[in-house]
A and B are shown apart, each in its own frame.
Chain A
């Protein structure tokens, strides 16, 4: 499985953009990058995913480098409710319909006033 590397923690001021980096240098050509977050005492929540192109939805933007070895999740206007652990995951899909998300320890984002 492609391994991801994320900083263990980051701080962000409320209202500012939060940029969360992720390295996935061993990613294969057909593997997607997924981002989930987990607010304290809740189950993980899907944020966004991408393969090659940059993606944007109502929650965030995902910027993937051209060589696909790294990506950045952008929360454009962070609020206190965005305080959570953010997981960057390379999804492995295998024969037979298997779909494996291997979670690391993620980045603890703390949004402060």
Chain B
């Protein structure tokens, strides 16, 4: 069974630039999550989708972050404009349903200079 795919794996940008990350969940998984992991900390949930609807985006900085899952399959997370403090690993996870265990992708390491 293929795991959660993410791209790119690494991205370096300058502050105020825009960046987008892509996630393809495990086939058939209805629930998709985006997490932010700052160095030395545990992952922090940014947004949860159930199919193509948002269930929880309470910790998403909506002035600069946006995410979509238009067809209920893959998803993109965008940052515009980026700040230095956005430097982190962005992890995508999926689960069969919201009450099942989550499977994580390898993450995208973002460095903002």
Tell me the bound Cα distance from A44 to B41 in angstroms.
12
Task: Tell me whether A99 and B42 are in contact in the complex, defined as CB-CB below 8 angstroms, given that A43-B91, A49-B101, A93-B98 are known contacts.
Answer: no
By the criterion CB–CB under 8 Å, are B42 and A43 in contact? no
Contact with B along A91-109 (1 / 0, CB 8 A): 0010011111111111000
The residue among B4, B48, B106 with the most chain A CB atoms within 10 A of its own CB is B48
Partner of A43, one of B31, B41, B44, B104: B104
Task: Tell me whether A93 and B99 are in contact in the complex, defined as CB-CB below 8 angstroms, given that A43-B93, A100-B56 are known contacts.
Answer: yes
Task: Tell me whether A34 and B101 are in contact in the complex, defined as CB-CB below 8 angstroms, given that A43-B106, A97-B50, A100-B56 are known contacts.
Answer: yes
By the criterion CB–CB under 8 Å, are B40 and A105 in contact? yes
Can you list 18 contacts pairing A with B, beta carbon distance less than 8 Å? A43-B4, A43-B104, A43-B105, A43-B106, A44-B91, A44-B104, A45-B104, A46-B102, A93-B99, A97-B31, A97-B98, A98-B98, A100-B48, A100-B56, A104-B42, A105-B41, A105-B42, A106-B42
